[in-house]
């Protein structure tokens, strides 16, 4: 992963962290519940986007390399990892 890609992902994660802190403050300050929910929904969307970008990087790098390799076990491993991630997501 390039440094630019890492910086983008890191900045997104830090932004999410800041928004989570804002939710904690909103709760502490007895903010209007709907405002808190809107904030948590925005956080969830940001996390979903972060996960999508991370998966794209993984597919472009690790998975592509493994599938192109002559190592069957490596190909099977990355495919199983992807299936596990999607299975876990489906359970949420």
What pLDDT digit, counting tens, does each position of 69-83 carry? 889 898 899 999 999
Question: What pLDDT is recorded for position 20?
Answer: 98
- Cα-based torsion angle of the residue sequence 18, 22, 25, 30 in order, rounded to the nearest 10 degrees: -170
Question: What pLDDT is recorded for position 11?
Answer: 98
Question: What pLDDT is recorded for position 27?
Answer: 98
User: How far apart (Å, rounded) are the C-alpha atoms in residues 19 and 42?
Assistant: 9
Query: pLDDT digit string (tens) for 22-62?
Result: 999 999 999 999 999 999 999 999 999 999 999 999 999 88
Question: What pLDDT is recorded for position 2?
Answer: 87
Domain layout of the chain by residue ranges: 3-91
- The fold of 3-91 is Methane Monooxygenase Hydroxylase; Chain G, domain 1 (1.20.58)
């Amino acid at each position: 992963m390039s440094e630019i890609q890492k910086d983008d992902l890191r900045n997104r994660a830090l932004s999410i962290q800041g928004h989570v802190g804002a939710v904690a403050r909103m709760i502490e300050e007895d903010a209007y519940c709907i405002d808190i929910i809107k904030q948590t929904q925005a956080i969830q969307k940001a996390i979903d986007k972060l996960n999508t970008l991370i998966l794209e990087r993984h597919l472009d790098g690790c998975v592509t390399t493994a599938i192109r390799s002559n190592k069957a076990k490596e190909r099977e491993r990355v495919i199983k990892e992807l299936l596990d991630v999607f299975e876990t997501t489906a359970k949420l």
